[in-house]
Amino acid sequence: MKPYAALLIAICNMLLTLGCATSSEPQPNAKALQQASEINTQLGIRYLQLGNLQQAVRKLGKALRQDAANADAHTTIGVVYEQLDKTDLAREHYRRAVELQPNNSEALNNYGRFLCKHGDYEGAERYFKRSADNVIYATPEKPLANAGICALQHGDAGRAEDFFLSALKRNPRYARALIKMAQLRFDSGHFLSARGYYQRYLAVAPQSPSSLWLGIRLEHELGDKDAVASYKLLLKQKFPDSTETRRLLEWEDDGKL
């Protein structure tokens, strides 16, 4: 054997998992392809986080060519296609992810969120429940709160409240459910109860334009002028260009506050 041929074979033996092979060498095995698929999935996730959707599609597509049963790659490329407004492709990959891993709570939650967004409220609720019912899922409050938000979009405030309360039973400090409960109680005129949820929210999360706007109206109803003034000042200083600040200025002009 010629020296360069022996060297080539030796190198390829060391780098087999990277796909190098001579005509007589075996192709990468299934385990190596799965590992490569996982790496490309992580790269795709990173590109998604950076907002580089086209590169994310390329990496995730490669991951699925390496391992068509990679549920995480299906879920992530579903998210990317959703952001690219390719609804049919997103649906296809979300569905495939939950078919491959029926107990993958993140995949179930993502598919439920997608279905709710497109008006399938009953289907969405089923997937949210399946996600939350997984006993080994670390954050069941997430799909429960999503189910509550979906119920609100469907116009069912009572069912929404049930889901938010269920989320808070799982995690009493879950900010998303706390602020939603504060809003629901405010909307129904239960202002003291709303304040309780609002204060619990402030103990675990920073103020946002929407939470400050809720706080202003809530404390106005309860007659705490100092709290109203404090929240108004904070909204104007921290979020001067927000929709909520514009609404506040309109209310002040109209004498509502």
How many angstroms separate the CA atoms of 174 and 143, rounded? 12
Crossing angle between the packed helical segments 30-50 and 53-66, to the nearest 10 degrees: 170
pLDDT digits (tens, 9 = 90+) for 156-210: 999 999 999 999 999 999 999 999 999 999 999 999 999 999 999 999 999 999 9
Task: Report the CATH superfamily, name and number, of domain 27-101.
Answer: Tetratricopeptide repeat domain (1.25.40.10)
pLDDT on residue 26:
53
Tokens of 77: 């490329």
Residue 189 zone, left/alpha/beta (φ > 0; ψ -120 to 50; rest): left
Q: Supply the pLDDT for residue 135.
A: 94
* Euclidean distance between CA atoms 190 and 53, whole angstroms: 44
- Joined together, the tokens standing for residue 224 give 């705490």
- How many C-beta atoms lie closer than 10 Å to residue 12's C-beta? 16
Amino acid 8: pLDDT: 39
pLDDT at 92: 98
pTM (predicted TM-score): 0.84
> Which stretches of the chain score pLDDT less than 50?
1-12, 14-24
H helices of 51-104, in order, are: 53-66, 71-83, 87-100
**CB-CB contact of 109 with 131 (8 Å):** yes
Q: Where are the domains of the chain?
A: 27-101
* Look-up of token digits 């129904």: 188
Total residue length of the chain: 257
- Identify the pLDDT of residue 27: 62
What does the alpha-carbon distance between residue 140 and residue 194 come to, in Å, rounded to a whole number?
24
Q: Quick one: angle between helices 157-170 and 141-153, nearest 10? A: 170
User: Residues 9-19: pLDDT tens digits?
Assistant: 443 454 344 44
Using CA atoms, how far apart are residues 88 and 72, in angstroms rounded to an integer? Answer: 18
The pLDDT score that the predictor gives to residue 10 is: 45
Residue-level pLDDT at 191: 98
d(CA 97, CA 86): 17
